[in-house]
Amino acid sequence: MAYVIPNTSSGSAVKVLLDRIAARWRRHLVYRRTYAELSALSSRELNDLGISRHAISRLAAEAARDAA
């Protein structure tokens, strides 16, 4: 005779995994949006903001990290 033992921990593990994937996706979207918006600015506009063009990637990564 076989016994079935409900395993509720695997359901919560899946939920944790899905939550982590969703959070990573949201951070990725923030990165892409920030990078696109800053890249669309002219060099003069970036200079007015005190941002150099090579710092765009770093700033987008910071925005994504802070969005979490």
Record the pTM: 0.77
46-68, pLDDT tens digit by residue? 999 999 999 999 999 999 999 86
**Using CA of residue 59, residue 61, residue 64, residue 68, what is the dihedral sign?**
negative
Chain centroid to CA 26: 4
Chain centroid to CA 43: 26
Residue 38 pLDDT class (50, 70, 90 cuts):
very high
Give the pair of three-digit tokens for residue 20.
Answer: 């982590």
What pLDDT, on the 0 to 100 scale, is given for residue 30?
A: 97
Number of residues written out for the chain:
68
- The answer to whether the CB of 68 falls within 8 A of the CB of 25 is no
What pLDDT, on the 0 to 100 scale, is given for residue 63?
A: 97
R_g (Cα) of the chain, nearest Å = 21
pLDDT at residue 15 is higher than 70:
yes
